A = this chain, B = another copy of it.
């Protein structure tokens, strides 16, 4: 009686256990420890070697922030388990405009995630294989293209293969940190290759010193990027979803802190000196020709020995995890797009699950934008980092502020059981602190980064914001325009059919056949003549084939098809008065994309022109070319963001369906072919009485309108039960 519960069950089977969800959703967050310590130390080094003594304090501040943000997100997940993340929170609690600020910030940050992660990945590859140094930009662009191509082709983010590199990365970095610390404990501290180089100490005033410390902190904050990915992935967790997601978040935070703190400590111990401009390192002769090795590469070389197997393992794992982080943006971007589309801030087509083309466009935009960034900044990680994390902190701050408002209004609503009250107050406090801290960091980040390139983010975010608002207003206007109102009345009459015949070919005959089957009041075939010879041939064939429908020839001295046809329709209208004319157009259905380059353009154009004509319905009669059989059974590829939505794995076009008869007891006698039956339709009984709006044809001379159709069967009066439990 409950219906077929399979989809939900199936869904559960596809959901992610914690040990898979962690690596899959956390690759973005964890991979950022690959560049955060390096950028932190690099900025400090601008002030000279003495500044490195501040490093532990700056790193500690980053860790505090990381703890705060993770705790804050654990509250957010509890309150909004739908996966909408900061956008949803800000939109619901702070209003549309704040929500759009978050959305535009996130869109910009997805682009930067791709650019930064790929740049860092390439950096680590070059650190292991220095002969690739001359191909930095080309390699970066190549990786963006490969990731985009893989995603365009369709790849499941939740594939187990995606979990391995993350675990390998965590394991190898952890092993490296532990080895280095143990060696240090035994008095054999690893020494980085750059430890010998010193740098020029800049002569800084106190204000400049503080600014430099804040800049170092800002750069270290890039370790926080990607934390929100888990919050967006809640629907994909196994039940209890919220609890599992919160545990995973905590675990991820712990791992990130250990890796970040450990890498910073070992870097300081081994004396890694990483400079913004390699030639600032005094004593390094080849600074202009050799690439400067990444912090991780220097530590790995110092700890495990240069070019040892473990060195290459660390570098490979780091590079792959960074590329996976770029990959997550290709899942997150379309997902956010579809949420925005649902709320009418982006083209509604983005919300059409299953329309691969739509996602493809989004991915191409993402890939192009990231490529432009990589080209403009020559895949320079340090420069790209300057643009990064502004968006992240905008969304952090607004998200947490929204949560504060959420908890306050929950407390005020008075619907809270007294037992939960203290828990809500605790959540409120955590989020309030998170909002405060992230807001402060946002200000710091903006101040320290604005002149270093981040101003670009403040140009693009408002543009996106205005675009989204404009789209929304457009949809609102159209909605208003097409609203049912009491003034507009319907009630057309007349029923003439025109079949457009080009040549005597099967598609045209099929269209004619269907038009005849539809038994219109009157029917004629129309041929637009642009060439006397073929017209005469058609007329001859028409008589030969003995076709029982009059053939009208319209001369087209200028070789158009649409315009003479429209003139003819207008002419008819003047003679016969207002009537509905159905124009039948044969239409080719092809199997390959390239075939559509070779077909249908004329039909398309005629269709577009006819659609502008008053009182015309365009009836397309498909003719399936042999090659079109290819179309069946396609589109079974996974869609981007599907995993985070917790959607089941299924071939979109081949879902097995149980016969509705099982639940309705209304057997159709085709048990073996049950898969063909429909998802139990529910029919509303016909409401008898005078029609008010549609189909209203007062005193129609031909008796159309409210009266039953000729030969119409009495509509089924039973209301069937929907076959499926609704989600």
Binding site for B on A (CB under 8 A): 7, 347-349, 352-355, 358, 471, 474-475, 478-479, 481-485, 488, 490-495, 504-507, 509-510, 512-514, 516-524, 532, 539, 541-543, 545-560, 563-564, 567-568, 570-572, 574-575, 579-580, 582, 584, 587-589, 595, 597-599, 601-602, 605, 607, 611-612, 616-626, 628, 631-632, 650, 652-653, 655, 657, 660, 668, 670, 673, 676-687, 689-695, 697, 702, 704-706, 709-713, 715-716, 722-724, 726-727
Contact = CB atoms under 8 A, between A and B. Distances in A.
Nearest to A576: B713
Given A507-B482, A522-B713, A617 B619 contact: yes
Given A352-B601, A522-B713, A622-B616, A695 B516 contact: yes
B520 A494 contact: no
A356 to B, nearest CB: 10
Contact of A517 (B483, B628, B689, B704): B704
A676 B567 contact: yes
A680 B556 CA distance: 10
6 residue pairs, one from A and one from B, having the closest CB atoms: A349-B601, A571-B678, A490-B513, A611-B622, A550-B715, A568-B678
Contacts of A679: 554-557, 564, 567-568
Given A493-B517, A574-B668, 13 more contacts: A7-B558, A349-B597, A354-B559, A481-B625, A484-B545, A512-B695, A521-B709, A550-B716, A552-B683, A570-B676, A574-B676, A619-B619, A620-B620
A10 to B, nearest CB: 10
Nearest to A678: B571
Nearest to A713: B522
A344 B594 CA distance: 15
A97 to B, nearest CB: 21
A31 to B, nearest CB: 32
B553 A475 contact: no
A482 B505 contact: yes
Contact of A689 (B546, B567, B684, B693): B546
Contacts of A509: 484, 490, 693-694
Interface centre among A482, A587, A713 (most CB of B within 10 A): A482
B517 A680 contact: no
A522 B619 contact: no
A682 B568 CA distance: 11
A621 to B, nearest CB: 5
A555 B726 contact: yes
A233 to B, nearest CB: 19
Nearest to A614: B624
B554 A681 contact: yes
Interface centre among A478, A575, A680 (most CB of B within 10 A): A478
Contacts of A602: 348-349, 352, 355
B7 A557 contact: yes
Contacts of A494: 517
Contacts of A691: 545-548
Contact of A589 (B513, B611, B624, B673): B611
Contacts of A668: 571, 574-575
Contacts of A619: 582, 617-620
B712 A710 contact: no
A724 B145 CA distance: 57
A677 B554 CA distance: 12
A622 B618 contact: yes
Nearest to A539: B684
Contacts of A716: 550
B616 A681 contact: no
A117 to B, nearest CB: 29
Contact of A555 (B347, B550, B723): B723
Contacts of A567: 657, 676-679
A684 B518 contact: no
Contacts of A723: 555
B626 A607 contact: no
Contacts of A349: 597-598, 601-602
A518 B582 contact: yes
B726 A560 contact: no
Contacts of A548: 686-687, 691, 694-695, 706
Contacts of A605: 352, 354-355
A476 to B, nearest CB: 12
B611 A587 contact: yes
B655 A631 contact: no
Contacts of A483: 505-506
A724 to B, nearest CB: 5
A27 B532 CA distance: 37
Nearest to A611: B622
Nearest to A618: B620
Contacts of A599: 348
Nearest to A684: B551
A625 B482 CA distance: 8
A726 B521 contact: no
A711 B702 contact: yes
Given A550-B715, A611-B622, A712-B523, A705 B490 contact: no
B715 A571 contact: no
A646 B564 CA distance: 21
Contacts of A595: 474
Contact of A516 (B539, B589, B704): B704
A602 B546 CA distance: 41
A602 to B, nearest CB: 5
A298 B410 CA distance: 85
A684 B550 contact: yes
A560 B353 CA distance: 7
A644 to B, nearest CB: 16
A283 to B, nearest CB: 37
Interface centre among A485, A517, A574, A689 (most CB of B within 10 A): A517
A547 B693 contact: yes
Contact of A523 (B652, B655, B709): B709
Contact of A681 (B539, B568, B726): B568
Contacts of A727: 557
